[in-house]
Amino acid sequence: MLGTGLATGLKIPADSYSKESKPIILSTWNHGLRANEVAWDIIKKNGKAIDAVEAGVRETEADPKVSSVGLGGAPDRDGKVTLDACIMNELGDAGAVAFLQNILHPISLARKVMEDTPHVMLVGLGAEKFAYEKGFKKTELLTAKAKLAYEEWLKTSKYKPIINIENHDTIGQIALDKHQHFSGACTTSGLSYKMSGRVGDSPIIGAGLFVDPEYGAATATGLGEKVMKTLGSFLIVELMRQGASPQEACEEGIKRIMKQANNKLDFQIGYIAIDKNGHHGAAAVHKGFQYAITQEGVHELRDAKIMAG
């Protein structure tokens, strides 16, 4: 059987995929290094990718130094920290939460949505109510540091997302385990000082994250509105399904966004992807996007290929 290679012209036999690919974990940004260490601790002991990615990004959610995810995340323009997250397992099952407040680990709540409800996504007060039903504790997520920065912002209230803000953003993590299973997780506090109720790409299946049980996984970071308009993670995995390498697929995903933006490139997007062979790819619009990669227990930070200029 041949992959059709519709978008890329590539033709590879679907059954040429290795049955014994080595595990690999990819995460967005430098905070991904710590998330990868945690995820690797699970995968190296024959653990499941779904448990690895949940545990990995929980580490980032609980880190008050990361100002774009979970605790310590920048609030919206009303001073509220609102969180978005989604998760997908090796079967392509999915769970998501959005516009969630007062819950430290949105990724674990997204997993509960996936496993314990007939739904894929819960938002706002409904998601928070479900969290308490499942035993999650109410937690203040606005740290003193984030509150001070917000009060400073209020003096001008200028809203302009900044490329590579503080060099980090959402954490997206994708993994292939020793059982040849993919999973992925994506979690964020979204854009600093966004409008109340704004939801970005991170909890949207196919935008911030997509996992195809047979072919691979991709996740996104950066200005979510741009990713949503091209359903970037789904696009990348679909291109891999049609025969593109993860690198080719990530580059095409970025090109699609640049075209859609008519080359007004005052934003950053980064994509990372892995395939069934344990190969990976990463691309971004601008310089500054790094990703963490773990193979054979070695954790490294690498620069993504830059597509603008």
Residues that bind ligand GLY (CB under 6 A): 169-170, 188, 190-191, 200-202, 221-224
Q: How far is the CB of 38 from ligand GLY (least distance, A)?
A: 21
Instruction: Decide if 191 contacts 161 (C-beta within 8 A).
Output: yes
Q: Which DSSP category does 2 fall into?
A: B
Cite the active site residues.
170
Q: How far apart are CA 161 and CA 22, in angstroms?
A: 38
Residue number with CB closer to ligand GLY (71 or 244): 71
Task: Name residue 97's amino acid.
Answer: V
3-state secondary structure of 224: helix
Q: How far is the CB of 149 from ligand GLY (least distance, A)?
A: 17
Q: How far is the CB of 226 from ligand GLY (least distance, A)?
A: 9
Instruction: Decide if 182 contacts 216 (C-beta within 8 A).
Output: yes
Q: How far is the CB of 92 from ligand GLY (least distance, A)?
A: 22
Q: How far apart are CA 298 and CA 255, in angstroms?
A: 31
Q: How far is the CB of 223 from ligand GLY (least distance, A)?
A: 6
Q: What is the largest CA-CA distance in the chain?
A: 62
Question: What are the DSSP calls for 106-132, one per residue?
Answer: HHHHHHHHHHHSS-SEEEHHHHHHHHH
Q: How far apart are CA 272 and CA 283, in angstroms?
A: 7
Residue number with CB closer to ligand GLY (169 or 251): 169
In angstroms, how far is CA 254 from the centroid of its own chain?
15
Residue number with CB closer to ligand GLY (8 or 268): 268
Return the beta strands (E) in the chain as ranges: 24-28, 83-88, 94-100, 121-123, 171-176, 182-188, 209-212, 216-222, 269-275, 280-284, 290-295, 298-303, 305-306
